Structure 1
Amino acid sequence: MEITKKMKILSKLLEKFLCYNLHKNGRKVLWFATMTMVLDVIEDYSPLRGFKYARLDGAFEVHEKEEIFPEKDISNFLLVNTLFGTGTYIYTRKHVRQSSSCYRILYSVTGALLLSFGSVLIWSVLRSIIPANQVLFTVTGISTSIAITSTGKKYLTDIDAMLHSKNE
């Protein structure tokens, strides 16, 4: 089996950074990927190198989640996933890529926190205003999620377009 150049580099980084015995010394690595295909490759690669892994995405099995998060409170789990997803999305935007890596991380974390916790605040306020009806709560939550996400995405796209037109 031939290993791609990226996987060779990744393997060398893991060996150097984590003293090679990752599975023996208890150190952990957190992978971020914008495509599930990358996680599929890492999922196949990890056992070949003797690494244990836990996948936290749409392919994440419910029984695995219950082992890691025994309280069965999915809200915190989903909020953390939202923070990582939003932060990763902001980090890869054209206008953010021009900043130094420290500021890219700062902007991504700040944007993810503002968007995620701002939406939680909006949901709690709306929940106190609308009549007690589970279906209405669900529809309101999904509607505000779509509106907030669409607005945030449009904002970032417009900023990228303005930056692109300035550079021309």
Structure 2
Amino acid sequence: MNPHLMVRLFPRRDITDILFISAGGGAGLWLWARPHVAAAAPARRFSWAFLGGCLWPLGSIFLWAILRSSVGQRPVIGTILGVSTGAMLTNIAIDYFNYIELMFCGELRLPDETYSPNSDDEKYDIDL
């Protein structure tokens, strides 16, 4: 969210693409190594890891583009928002995958009666 910072840190090169590719590769490799996909066929496992590796960094880029347009020309606020939302998205994703793996390993079970937005319809059904 602060392109001027990248120019200051790396004045002779644009390493943005390298950073995005390494973030996607890291996310994909992390997903590849998760226990809940270990039993899948390698081609399927690769496609899931590739999809997650693409969606995770690119989703954050879209979020940052929206935030940057709302912040305007305030690079300090943009940098703080970028770092904090990046950490928040990573924390949410890790929490989600840990939850999935608890369900996969049988340590967490779905309740017998799951909530549905339409579950109360029978209670209030009025026959005219």
Do they fold alike, i.e. is TM over 0.5?
yes
Q: Number of residues paired by the alignment?
A: 99
How many percent identity over aligned positions? 27
Partner in structure 1 of residue 14 of structure 2: 73
CA distance in 1, matches of 2:31, 2:16: 22
Alignment of 1:32-51 (within 5 A): none
* Higher RCO (CA 8 Å, separation ≥ 6 residues): 2
User: Which residues of 2 match residues 1-80 of structure 1 at below 5 A?
Assistant: 72-80=13-21
- Listed as ranges, the matches of 1:152-167 within 5 Å are 152-165=93-106
**1-structure distance, mates of 2:72, 2:57:** 24
Name structure 2 gaps, 5 residues minimum.
1-9, 109-128
SS at 1:132's partner residue?
coil
Aligned to 1:141: 82
Instruction: Name structure 1 gaps, 5 residues minimum.
Output: 1-65
Of residues 16, 19, 29, the one that matches 1:88 is 29
- Rounded Cα–Cα distance in structure 1 between residues aligned with 2:91 and 2:21: 20
Shift of 1:98: 1.4
TM-score, normalised via structure 1 length: 0.56
Query: Which residue of the other structure, out of 49, 54, 57, is the alignment partner of 1:113?
Result: 54
Question: 1:151 is matched with which residue: 89, 92, 107?
Answer: 92
Measure the CA separation in 2 of the matches of 1:109 and 1:73: 24
- Moved >2 Å (runs of 4+): none
In the alignment, what sits opposite 1:27? none
What CA distance in whole angstroms lies between the structure 2 residues aligned with 1:158 and 1:122?
24
Cα distance in 2 for partners of 1:75, 1:149 equals 19
Secondary structure of the residue aligned to 1:95 is: helix
Q: Secondary structure at the match of 1:165?
A: coil
Alignment root-mean-square deviation, CA: 2.0
How far apart are the structure 1 equivalents of 2:72 and 2:51?
33
Task: Give the drift of 1:166.
Answer: 6.4
TM-score by length of 2: 0.72
Distance 2:75 2:107 in 1: 48
Instruction: Report the AA paired with residue 34 of structure 2.
Output: R
Higher percent of residues as helix = 1
